[in-house]
Structure 1
Amino acid sequence: MEENRKTKENPLKVNRRHFFSQLSVGIGSLALGSLLIPDLFNGTTKGSPVTRLGVPHFAPKAKRVIYLFQAGAPSQFETFDHKPTLRKRMGEDLPESVRKGQRLTGMTAEQENFPLMPPAVRFQQYGNNGTWISDFFPHIGKIADEICVIRSMHTEAINHDPAITFFQTGSQISGRPSMGSWMSYGLGNENKNLPSFVVLTSRGKGNSQGLYSKLWSSGFLDSKHQGVLLRSGKDPVLYLNDPEGLSRSDKRHLLDHVSALNKLHHVETGDDEIESRIAQYEMAYRMQMSVPDVMDISKEPESIIKLYGEDCQVPGTYAANALQARRLAENGVRFIQLYHQGWDQHGNLHNEMAGQAKDVDQASAALIIDLKQRGMLEDTLVVWGGEFGRTNYCQGKFDPMNYGRDHHPRAFSIWMAGGGIQPGINYGQTDEFGYNIVENPVHINDFHATMMHLLGLDHEQLTYKYQGRRFRLTDVAGDVVKDILV
């Protein structure tokens, strides 16, 4: 009786021999399980979301992204979609059979006529594939064999704010994480001294739409994944520098004490955002040394200055930001987002676009050339484009000397290069009027899925549970555009 009582009171007491005999059985079971269910220990099961953050789902073609976003929506008819029919039928009304009663903005919905308007700029063919590119972009023409022009992009958004929000976050509704934040969340940081997601802005000579921090927000993801805006001038990041009288060692001592207090608070509350705050304090401390060094182009050779153009020495210009993008990329920044404002040409389009194109043409091409000569283009994905396209008809009164184009979400052009994209090809096709897509449509969800695929991420598996559902960048849609991949 006494022996039985002791056994019941001490059910977990085992001797050494019994422990190791049972351990061997357990290890064997785990080994067998891993053979029968390959995903048993990688955080996934079939049909469940991937939880291995910081590790690609499969071998990536690209390690980083440089996104040259042309805010305001450049017209495809003055860039990369050559339509001789518009010149032949200039001034004729767009046939209703082509327009098909599609949605218009309030700026042209009341027009009685929709006179076709050809571009005032000419086009030439470049590269081995004869890619049509307008004379606004002679430098991009010279790299035609390095880029893939997609002429069949489309979106549902017809106004700037929801359209640019859709491109940057995968939703027309504000509050979702930006694509850069998703990449940071899924892949982590390559350089502990720099953010994984950096934003640079510039402003051109044309009509500018506003830019808002929600475009590089982390949304419901941890705040450490938010884009860091680098400004031009001697203080690239606001409030990064220490106040006068505070030494480096004093700052380190202060951070250590703040971190200790935050850790105690985290133990009490379990709030993960406190850990993000600790990480951000530490990142800011390291950035005090790393950011000024990365932003300093004084050591760049004259050949690079000449390649990007003299404007690259003027802080805040598109050319300067393009050069900074290369420097950030080679220093391990995962996602570099450039915004260049000024592409909203509802009037005086020819003159305004000429100035806008001059701002970006040489530097955009230089970035591709620079990356390639450094051996970085093959694992750097570069994207160039805006939030939607432009109408093939004239907005307002027909005036070939001073015309403008309204918003057009049904078909527009972008280009991509490097990072696993087939070089020197054209993908997708619009009708002879450039109004509707007739071959290989590419939706924004498809674009996001393809970009993530190149980075080694399965867009259906990288999810985040919030308010009772699992969100992803592509929401509930999106297919990888495999035809443009190497």
Structure 2
Amino acid sequence: MQLPPPTLQRLTRRHFFGSAAVGLGGAALTSLLARQSLADSLTAPTALPAKAKRVIYLFQSGGPAQQDLFDYKPLLNDKNGQQLPPEVRGAQRLTGMSAQQSSIPLAGSHFKFSQHGQSGAWLSDVLPHHAAIADDLCFVKAMWTEAINHDPAITFFQTGSQIAGRPSLGAWLSYGLGSMNDNLPAFIVLVTAKHGGDQPLYARLWGSGFLDSQHQGVQFRPGAEPVLYLSNPDGVCRSGRRAMLDKLNALNQRQFEQELDPEIESRITQYEMAFRMQTSVPDATDLSQETDATFELYGPDSRTPGTFAANCLLARRLAERGVRFIQLYHQGWDHHGGLPAGIRNQCKETDQASAALVKDLKQRGLLDDTLVIWGGEFGRTSYSQGALSATDYGRDHHPRCFTVWLAGGGVKPGVSYGRTDDYGYNIADESGRPLNPTKDAFTPGAVHVHDLQATILHQLGVDHTQLVFKHQGRRFRLTDVHGHVVHDLLT
């Protein structure tokens, strides 16, 4: 059998449609395929009624302690200092940090809890601003994951796999749904500046993996240059840059016609986006346009670029401008020791701004079609890691149960879904008996990472089983071969 010429052998599905398109109808088809970013996929997402147009994900890196924030466990205070009963732990895995402890004393929270709103949601007194939006939130108290260490756990939430290299959630949405604003990226990332923390953040967490590089997240930074290398160098005017891009695009187009490499197309697309962003980014990031009342709503930190509060305010501005997926990262929740002081500081930095974002979106009519997510990569243990004292304690990693909250985007407000046992150690049924959920079969009252991802996609009108990309002979998807939409969370 005679093979076609080498150039034709490299012809991809996208290029076949592009080359075969004739006349206005073919051009329209090609444009539609490119805009929806689905031409590389053998399976397009099944269209579902979309309740949300965009997502703002407030990722709390390090693992917030649910027992000190959302999951009220008076039994821990009653049994403070006593040993965790062996039957509660069972055969569950511990980290290498607390597996060596000869004693694992239960640690009651140092914070007072009270109920708020018509929903009666229990909240710690370190979250006074959350108390004001309790009836807007859906608390998922039965999240669970297999990952027990930070990097695989964060990678799992962001990409659907504990192993690095897969596309991130925002990249999948950019690929599947495209952009709502031709002058801004579909996926933008904001990281709290100069905050640090024990656990680093890597750009691969918002990477595109094996998807086209145009779908990766674009990080906005505080300061005069929010996007690196976007502004013109000295001596180059806008018209000069335009002329340079035209010549460069012509060269790239010639190379593409010879090699049919889709990354060359992507390069052209990204050069053009960067040119348009020279005017759209300064407008979007100019917080001086906001009123004093808005800054007061988000708190005094919102006037300082790069803080979590300023990033929350910027996230609202990006949502207004049609950015599909806005990812915020805030580090510092990894409290193996010094938890009382540490978590107070974290809440001081995040509580008011998180609540303000929900309030602001709601008053502007954006909350109904914006899905807001708040949470970390896992929870914390109900026992103290290391010594327990009257003034101090720490908590180790705990993947078996923890809390995230959702707001807007067609999610039920003012509800708590799932529960944990009285020790806050296992997901439990209504009678308090521990459940043993698996990710292969949906367990009512328990929400696996893949279930949350499936539910997010569902609210955006995408069937998670149909958002597929073929790579190295396998059809990949965000939820792998797992995941169930948690309909009980949805209106």
Question: What TM-score, normalized by structure 2, do the two folds share?
Answer: 0.88
**Is contact 2:42-2:470 (8 Å) kept?**
no
AA aligned to 2:44 is T
1:215 aligns with 2:208: no
Partner of 1:261: 251
SS in 2 for 1:358: helix
1:391 aligns with 2:381: yes
Give the one of 392, 409, 422 matched to 2:412: 422
Q: CA deviation at 1:96?
A: 0.5
Q: What are the equivalent positions in structure 2 for 1:102-251 lying under 5 Å apart?
A: 102-202=92-192, 207-251=197-241
Q: What are the equivalent positions in structure 2 for 1:279-318 lying under 5 Å apart?
A: 279-318=269-308
Partners of 1:251 and 1:169 in 2: CA distance? 36
In the superposition, relative to structure 1, how do residues 430 and 204 fare at CA in structure 2: closer, same or farther (>3 Å)?
farther
SS in 1 for 2:288: coil
SS in 2 for 1:157: coil
**Is contact 1:203-1:342 (8 Å) kept?**
no
**Is contact 1:206-1:344 (8 Å) kept?**
no
Partners of 1:60 and 1:313 in 2: CA distance? 35
Give the one of 40, 47, 51 matched to 2:44: 51
In the superposition, relative to structure 1, how do residues 206 and 128 fare at CA in structure 2: closer, same or farther (>3 Å)?
farther
Task: Report Cα offsets for 1:40-84 as digits up to 9, x if no partner.
Answer: xx9x9xxx96337xxx71220000000000001110011110001
In the superposition, relative to structure 1, how do residues 331 and 205 fare at CA in structure 2: closer, same or farther (>3 Å)?
closer
Q: CA deviation at 1:464?
A: 0.2
SS in 2 for 1:307: helix
Give the one of 67, 70, 77 matched to 1:80: 70
**Is contact 1:83-1:434 (8 Å) kept?**
yes
AA aligned to 1:131 is A
Partners of 1:243 and 1:206 in 2: CA distance? 31
Question: When the two structures are aligned, how many residues end up with a matched partner?
Answer: 438
AA aligned to 1:216 is W
Give the one of 425, 430, 448 matched to 2:453: 448
Partners of 2:414 and 2:335 in 1: CA distance? 29
Partners of 2:401 and 2:197 in 1: CA distance? 22
1:275 aligns with 2:269: no
AA aligned to 1:452 is L
**Is contact 1:204-1:341 (8 Å) kept?**
no
**Is contact 1:49-1:461 (8 Å) kept?**
no
Runs of 4+ in 1 over 3 A off after TM superposition: 203-208
SS in 2 for 1:175: coil
SS in 2 for 1:165: helix
Give the one of 474, 482, 485 matched to 2:479: 474
Partners of 2:381 and 2:173 in 1: CA distance? 33
Q: In percent, how many aligned pairs have the same letter?
A: 58
1:63 aligns with 2:53: yes
Partner of 1:27: none
In the superposition, relative to structure 1, how do residues 121 and 138 fare at CA in structure 2: closer, same or farther (>3 Å)?
same
Partners of 1:67 and 1:192 in 2: CA distance? 22
Partner of 1:252: 242
Partner of 1:411: 401
**Is contact 1:146-1:423 (8 Å) kept?**
yes
**Is contact 2:178-2:186 (8 Å) kept?**
yes
Partners of 1:399 and 1:134 in 2: CA distance? 20
Q: CA deviation at 1:203?
A: 5.2
Partners of 1:205 and 1:178 in 2: CA distance? 23
SS in 1 for 2:385: coil
Show structure 1 runs of 5+ residues with no match.
Answer: 1-41
**Is contact 2:420-2:428 (8 Å) kept?**
yes
SS in 2 for 1:298: helix
Partner of 1:361: 351
**Is contact 2:43-2:469 (8 Å) kept?**
no
**Is contact 2:62-2:333 (8 Å) kept?**
yes
**Is contact 2:166-2:208 (8 Å) kept?**
yes
Show structure 2 runs of 5+ residues with no match.
Answer: 1-35, 430-444
1:460 aligns with 2:465: yes
Q: CA deviation at 1:275?
A: 0.6
Q: Which moved more, 1:198-207 or 1:124-133?
A: 198-207
Partners of 1:472 and 1:311 in 2: CA distance? 39
AA aligned to 1:163 is A
**Is contact 1:206-1:352 (8 Å) kept?**
no
**Is contact 2:252-2:268 (8 Å) kept?**
yes
Task: Report Cα offsets for 1:272-327 as digits up to 9, x if no partner.
Answer: 11111100000000001110110001111111111001110100100000000000
Partners of 1:401 and 1:436 in 2: CA distance? 26
Partners of 1:158 and 1:233 in 2: CA distance? 36
Task: Report Cα offsets for 1:192-223 as digits up to 9, x if no partner.
Answer: 10000000001586843100001000000000
